[in-house]
Structure 1
Amino acid sequence: MLDSATLFSLKLSLQVAGLATVLVMASGIGMAYLLARRDFFGKELLDICLTLPLVLPPTVTGYYLIILFGRNGVIGRLVYEWTGWTIMFSWQAAVLASYVVALPLMIKTTRAALEAVDRNLINASYTLGHSEWRTALWVVLPLAKKGIIAGTVLTFARALGEFGATLMLAGNIPGKTDTMPLAIYTLASSGEWRQANFMVIFLTLISGLFLYVANRFSRRMA
């Protein structure tokens, strides 16, 4: 029987991953469209900045988040002065960390799907008098939906397994910010192998399932 602490970590991880995925979808699709369909000054630099969390050590990403959103950070200081609230050491910080590290997966996958859409179909839509907005909504995005779904699945899996940046920004506070990866670290450190084994197996199975689903959609794009 799972204890309350383990159940809390399971629930928190699903909550954090779910919210992070919604935020990634809301912003990542638009960013991917911008990179796929527009040419502008600084495009490659923007692409590098958005992709960096994918290759940087998570602790480095977490450090940057502290610099930006910590109580004395560039943005965090203003928020604290206006509201008296800081995101540090809260479950919302875990959402932010998961969002940042998972966003590049969504952008890369969606951008590839958008760039694979037949340009002739887009031009045909323009010829029929449809605006770019309507063309994107009714032609480009539907044709790229499999890539978008694959990106969404990978985003959720990545957010569910986030550790380093979450530890830096949200901390490892039992009953407050200890997501499954953080709880596994704590359980293994204290020698509570039964609970740690369960959570490891659960994360492994669910991550494998999401990778299988993402691969299925990726193959269908080819």
Structure 2
Amino acid sequence: MTLPDQQGDPVRTTAASPRRHQPQRVPVALLLPAVAGLLFLVLPLAGLVIRAPWSTLPQRLAQPGVLTALRLSLQTATAATLVCLALGVPLAWLLARTDFPGRRLVRALVTVPLVLPPVVGGVALLLVFGRSGLVGGWLDATFGVTLPFTTAGVVAAEAFVAMPFLVIAVEGALRGADTRYEEAAATLGAGRWAIFTHVTLPLVAPGIAAGTVLCWARALGEFGATITFAGNYPGRTQTMPLAVYLALETDLDMAIVLSLVLLTVSVAILVALRDRWLTSP
């Protein structure tokens, strides 16, 4: 585009290009607490690595129960995440895309497990799904299904504490998604289910991936609700966090080894999933 200058001669102008973020010197007032916060988070993890009994690590990992607890943790965390995906994604869509009476109350209730002590969550699960609970009694009498102190109870406890992470992440992604693509699909005759599966879900896939990672990691590390609702039975309900707690009372080195294994698995999964789904261009 051209504009006349003060003498009347045409002058070519170009649209201003967006300025890139330039590196800035970090103020000392921000640098010092930032470094302190980083050390506060990293030093405990470094302590596990430094104090680990590396010379006896293979023998300790080969002890009965270690691989069983790890396998159970991975299985239950994955199953809990699938439950959260099946229930949490529709719930997030409901909160983000519909307006109904009491929506703020529903959102608050969804986030309660984030601030609720896990032990209290376990007690609440017992009161609802126990054999004499509000729902558990009916399940036991009608279908013979008992959740407390079973592997399914571990999955239920982990899903209860982990689902809010998924719902919050997916709801945020849905609110930030451009709805024009969904509107265009609707004008072309696509049904609601087709729009949801072929347009909405691909749009918010990074948010779903982020919520899934957070949900899985939270389920993997769940302790309080699990031990309260499902107990600590080796091979059936004893996940890795429970095995760490049990080993801590009798064998500190074993507790360190189990903690190191859990830390390694968590970091490996999170890094792998982030590189695949969460890395922004």
TM-score w.r.t. length of structure 2: 0.73
203 and 50 in structure 1: CA distance in 2 versus 1, 3 angstrom threshold: same
What is the Cα deviation at residue 218 of structure 1? Answer: 4.9
Partner of 2:17: none
* Structure number with higher relative contact order (C-alpha < 8 Å, ≥ 6 residues apart): 1
SS of the residue corresponding to residue 152 of structure 1 reads helix
1:1-222 equivalences in 2 (<5 Å)? 1=59, 2-190=62-250, 192-212=251-271, 217-218=277-278, 220=280
Q: 1:108 to 1:218 in 2, by over 3 A?
A: farther
Cα distance per residue 1:88-136 (max 9 Å; x no partner) = 1111110000011111111111111111111222222222222222211
Q: Could you say which structure has the higher helix fraction?
A: 1
State the AA in 1 paired with 2:267. G
Output the CA distance in 1 between the equivalents of 2:148 and 2:178. Answer: 45
String of CA shifts for 1:164-215, please: whole Å, max 9, x gaps.
000110011233211100010000011x223211211122223334444566
Shift of 1:79: 1.3
Partners of 1:172 and 1:182 within 8 A in 2: yes
1:154–1:214 Cα contact (<8 Å) kept: no
Percent of aligned pairs with the same residue? Answer: 40
In structure 1, what residue type is equivalent to 2:183? N
Which one-letter code corresponds to 2:68 in the other structure? F
Q: Distance in 2 between matches of 1:121 and 1:89?
A: 47
Where 2:190 maps in the other structure, the secondary structure is coil
Listed one character per residue, the Cα deviations across residues 124-150 of structure 1 (whole Å, up to 9, x for unaligned) are: 222222222221111111011011111
Aligned mates of 1:211, 1:84 — CA distance in 2 = 38
Deviation, structure 1 residue 76:
0.6
Amino acid at match of 1:29: V
Over the aligned positions, Cα root-mean-square deviation in angstroms equals 1.8
2:72–2:235 CA contact under 8 A, matched in 1: no
Deviation at 1:65, TM superposition (A): 0.5
Alpha-carbon distance in 2 for matches of 1:208, 1:107: 22
Max radius of gyration: which structure? 2
| 1:194 partner amino acid | D
Three-state SS of the structure 2 residue aligned to 1:25 is: helix
Aligned residues: 220
Letter paired with 2:246? T
Distance 2:145 2:174 in 1: 39
TM-score when normalising by structure 1: 0.92
Deviation at 1:159, TM superposition (A): 0.7
